[in-house]
Amino acid sequence: MAHDYTIPFNHSSLMGRELEYIAQAMKIGQIAGDQTYSKKCHALLEQMLGVRKVMVTTSCTHALEMSALLLNIQPGDEVILPSFTFVSTANAFALRGARIIFSDIRPDTLNLDERQLESLITPRTKAVVPVHYAGVGCEMDVISDITARHGVDVVEDNAHGLFGKFRGRWLGTFGRLATQSFHETKNITCGEGGALLINDPRLVERAEIIREKGTDRSRYFRGQVDKYSWVDIGSSYVMSDVLAAFLYAQLEARDTIQAHRRRIWEYYDGQLRDWARDHGVGCPVVPPHCEQSYHMYYLVMPSLQQRQALIAHLKTHRILSVFHYVPLHHSPMARRVAQPHAHCPVTDEKSDRLLRLPFYNSFSRDDQDRVIDAIRHFQP
Ligand SMILES: Cc1ncc(COP(=O)(O)O)c(C=O)c1O
């Protein structure tokens, strides 16, 4: 149970003016969506990332669902994504009837292996969904080149990667669409939340409609129509302004948050890399052309048994470490919606061996030293 641990895996904390802004949202009587604080979040992200349009959503899962609707994914269309990801990356497209084609990952960054991508593309391929794992960019120049040649759309699942860069360019600005998560485990959070980043201006108007239950309510609020109507399919993907107020305060504190997370990441790396090398343990790989988002620190143990043993060892020190992702190509749902016999040996191997260490904004150096000490006393 989580409460048996004195060092949790994740812990949410206030990073700035969250409570003040929530009180302000209540005071001005704006707690539904798309009001003052949502607009502030949109403007801040658009300006900072240079994205045509940002819309905050109820989750990254829902931003992915919006992407599938916006790209008109139909039954039988194929969508390529890594098996090593969270279930929502696949589910959003499976909901539209897509056939999921699993790609394996690179052994270094654990990102979709762009060297396999072209062999997975068929005339039915509609989209590729690269996941910037741990906020380290996928090889977007190769992926963009291949997808452009085949006329296939890219949706970046950037749940981990806000403020990461690939070759100097923000993650989330490569795909026709990109999605962010503000779930409590993320660098910047509002508990549950997400955003859709729209890089193709032709998708903006329909995105507004899909996000507002299939209605043109946004046009109505802008005074462009005198009543709003049901004009398309859609759902309720609008974030409450109470959460947007919380989120805006976190976004304002982004420099402090990112600098702190960078110190945590570099301290783990500095303290553990030699130990890891001596014990056959892998550490994160960040290629020189990637600026990571400092979302997580993980170890890749020599075997599944040793990974489980280290989790148990840390538990005896009351430290919670976790593993993920269980490869999607082995899941019961994959048998129904994915290509049979997906071959993802790197995914299988890494997913058995990977372990994530505690990492959160209020993580103290003392607590981090406890984690590092405990790991160093583990005999792999
Ligand atoms: C890669 C990836 N995509 C999507 C999601 C879903 O995010 P959310 O919880 O905001 O729906 C997650 C969740 O952690 C994730 O890791």
| DSSP state letter for 223 | T
Query: Which pLDDT score, from 0 to 100, does residue 200 have?
Result: 98
Query: Which pLDDT score, from 0 to 100, does residue 370 have?
Result: 98
Query: Which pLDDT score, from 0 to 100, does residue 3 have?
Result: 58
Using DSSP's 3-state secondary structure scheme, residue 93 falls into helix
Closest of 47, 57, 63 to residue 252, by C-alpha: 47
Judge whether 329 and 338 are in contact, CB under 8 Å. yes
Nearest ligand 1 atom, CA 133: 1
* 84 touches ligand 1 (CB under 6 Å): no
* 183 touches ligand 1 (CB under 6 Å): yes
pLDDT digits (tens, 9 = 90+) for 171-214: 999 999 999 999 999 999 999 999 999 999 999 999 999 999 99
Q: How close is the Cα of 158 to the center of ligand 1, in Å?
A: 9
Taking CA atoms only, the protein residue closest to ligand 1 atom 7 is: 60
Q: How close is the Cα of 85 to the center of ligand 1, in Å?
A: 9
Query: Which pLDDT score, from 0 to 100, does residue 4 have?
Result: 84
Judge whether 307 and 324 are in contact, CB under 8 Å. no
Nearest ligand 1 atom, CA 324: 16
* 158 touches ligand 1 (CB under 6 Å): no
**Three-point CA angle 297, 299, 303, nearest 5°:** 160
Cα distances from 172 to residues 3, 135, 360, in angstroms, run 36, 11, 23
Per DSSP bridges, beta strands 194-198 and 53-57 are: antiparallel
pLDDT digits (tens, 9 = 90+) for 19-58: 999 999 999 999 999 999 999 999 999 999 999 999 999 9
Angle between helices 204-211 and 60-70 (to 10 degrees): 120
Query: Which pLDDT score, from 0 to 100, does residue 379 have?
Result: 85
Which residues lie across from 153 on neighbouring strands?
Answer: 127
Using DSSP's 3-state secondary structure scheme, residue 121 falls into coil
| Residue 169 parent element (H or E) | strand 169-170
Residue 337's contacts (CB-CB under 8 Å, 6 or more residues apart) are 90, 94, 98, 99, 100
Spans of the chain below 70 pLDDT: 1-3
**Longest pairwise C-alpha distance within the chain:** 70
**Three-point CA angle 105, 107, 113, nearest 5°:** 30
| DSSP state letter for 354 | E
* HSE value, Cβ hemisphere, 13 Å, CA-based, for 298: 26
Instruction: Note if the bond before 325 is cis, omega within 30 degrees.
Output: yes
What sign for the dihedral angle of Cα 91, 292, 166, 348?
negative
By most ligand atoms within 8 Å of CB, the mutation choice from 60, 156, 187, 351 for ligand 1 is 60
Q: How close is the Cα of 130 to the center of ligand 1, in Å?
A: 13
Rounded Cα distance between 327 and 352, Å, is 9
